[in-house]
Amino acid sequence: MTAARLRLLRLLSAGGATAVTALVLLHVLGTVVPLLSAVATGRLINDLSGAGPVAASAVAVVGLLFVDQTVWLVRDLVAGLVVTRVDGRLRATVRALTAGGLSLDVLESTGFGDRAARTVDNGRGLGRRRSPGAAAAGQLAVIFRMAGALGATVLLASYFPLLAVLLLAVSLVARMIVRRQWVGLIDTLDADLLGQRRLFHLSELAVSDAAKETRLYGLGHWLAMRFRAVGHATYGPAWRQLWTVLRRQWITLILVTGAAAAALAVPGRAALGGSLDAGQLVTCVLAAWAIFRITAMGPEAYDIEYGLRGSEAAAELVRAYGRKSGQLTAVPDRPPVVKFEDVVFRYPGEPRAVLDGLTLTLHPGETVAVVGENGAGKTTFVKLLGGLYRPTSGRITVDGTDLAELDVARWRRRLSVLFQDFVHYPMNLRDNVALAAPEFSGGDDAVREALERAGAGELLAGLPDGLDTSLWQRGAGGQDLSGGQWQRVALARTLYAATAGRRVLVLDEPTAHLDIRAEAEFHERVVQRVDGVTTVLISHRLSTVRPAGRIVLLSGGRVTEDGTHDELLALGGDYARFYTLQASAFGGPR
């Protein structure tokens, strides 16, 4: 535990040398001033009895009181600054880790989720936040509080040594008991982090993407009842334990009451016997009160235990998933040869393999269409290509190098992917397009060109503020788009990335929200005008992929047919059957 507390103190280095130095000096003043006040107050009492000049003693007491209150106010401000900086540094580290090269199977794992939850947990349920910065500042405060108690013990021991030692021992025992009782609540809360995440997702349903259906189907009452049930299941054990802790406070109450009685009785008896004057009596009582201050479990004591687990969780994330420099192969800038070599993949916890022996080569500069029935593994293929998951067995190579050995973050900067469930970013149109390649400085001309190539020229012309139009439907003044319009914006985002130098272009169901006319123009407007890249088209609408130079059919988790449209029709296999069915349904040509 001592090592953990030292790690907390080391976190303070992120708070800035000036701020941390100021905080330490303020704590030193906050420790010394109460002791000086006890002595000065005792002297003032004696001076009021005619033993000395009252004015000087009064000025000393008032001055020390002013300094004490000023230190208290300024210390909280400085501590808040240090806490914010420490938490900001830690959260930036975790954000960089999670937004980097980690695969989705890691991000979706329970172990990663629990650690991440402990790192950023806001303490909802007991009114505490899991702040490593607050824990570090709290540890510093406790150290000086202990130092103040030891100083007060020394002061009281100059009059009553045995009483001073007794009060310090009782105070430490009472603090230990209280700490053990209250800190045990954290273990109870940490036992059900999954429940806490469920509560978060339930609360999001009513105000996010499910808001329309929640209201349309009258799910408000059901949602409220479900939230209440999960809340009781998640926090019920902690609430029950809290009630148990409150009922056991009589133990510390007896200890502290007995010690307080002794702190008053012993000096009081000495004063009545004439061996202690009034000023010394006041000094002894104030010194005893300063010792008792360590029994109080202030917010910093709880913050230490709660935030300590957050900092440890963050450290575990960095140790387990932090990238080691110098171990990853660079990624070539030219269009690569990508090979899937007998790749098998199953999602964590799933017995069935989605891809089962997939072998496929993507040659530089070609346009390949990947088709198949729903569940054939087309989208999983894209996720593996992007390094979002790693194969269960087999391997994926880029110019002969295993993808697992590449710098995944750099590899992804060579990809431009339009997912089927693309994101509607709550920002203006310009940023919705340019986010695909933030490192590219093509300016507004490149954004407009990408929108034009995606067939969104009319959309741009009709927006009130052009590229500056906010597409945040929940924000004031924001404008939402239709499904087809969002599809064109997403296409423009992908094409903008290709212009920025992305060498592998992946389009997953790129015409799902487009009408028949727009779909017919898609290949000519988009695919044929992309030069110097390898293009992968994924679609269940075979009319979209018909012009592709090469079509592969996935079935049973592997490639079962591979060729041009005419070659696959002549083969008379599953592709020919699927195409004939779709053509007859829509009256299209064979």
Tokens read off for 502: 């992305």
- 423-502: which CATH architecture? 3-Layer(aba) Sandwich (3.40)
CATH code for the domain defined by 2-319: 1.20.1560.10
Nearest to 399 by CA among 538, 553, 503: 503
CATH value of 332-414+504-516+535-590 in 3.40.50.300, 1.10.560.10, 3.30.450.20, 3.30.930.10:
3.40.50.300
What's the rounded Cα separation, in Å, for the pair 199 and 209?
16
Q: Kindly report the length of the chain.
A: 590
* Residue range(s) occupied by CATH 3.40.50.300 in the chain: 332-414+504-516+535-590, 423-502
Report whether 312 contacts 137 (CB < 8 A): no
What's the rounded Cα separation, in Å, for the pair 453 and 522?
10
Cα–chain-centroid distance for residue 335?
Answer: 35
pLDDT of residue 74: 94
Q: Could you give the strand order of the β-sheet that contains 367-371, starting from the edge strand earlier in sequence?
A: 415-418, 504-508, 534-538, 367-371, 550-555, 558-563
What's the rounded Cα separation, in Å, for the pair 525 and 547?
12
pLDDT of residue 125: 46
CA-CA distances (angstroms) from residue 336 to 169, 190, 212? 72, 46, 44
What's the rounded Cα separation, in Å, for the pair 65 and 305?
32
Beta bridge partners of 343: 358
pLDDT of residue 475: 57
Q: Which amino acid is at 572?
A: G
Per-residue pLDDT of the chain (590 residues), as tens digits, is 577 788 888 889 989 999 999 999 999 999 999 888 888 888 888 878 766 677 888 888 899 889 989 998 999 899 999 998 988 888 888 787 777 667 777 777 777 777 777 776 655 544 556 688 888 888 898 889 899 999 999 999 999 999 999 999 988 888 888 777 777 776 777 677 677 777 777 777 766 667 677 777 777 777 788 888 888 888 888 788 778 777 777 787 888 888 889 888 998 888 888 888 888 888 898 898 888 888 776 667 777 877 887 788 888 888 877 765 444 566 666 788 999 999 999 987 788 899 999 999 999 989 899 998 888 888 899 999 988 888 999 999 999 889 888 888 788 888 888 888 888 888 899 999 998 888 887 789 999 988 988 888 888 888 888 899 888 766 566 787 888 888 889 889 988 888 888 889 898 888 777 766 666 666 666 666 677 788 898 887 787 788 888 999 999 889 999 999 999 999 999 999 888 887 775 555 54
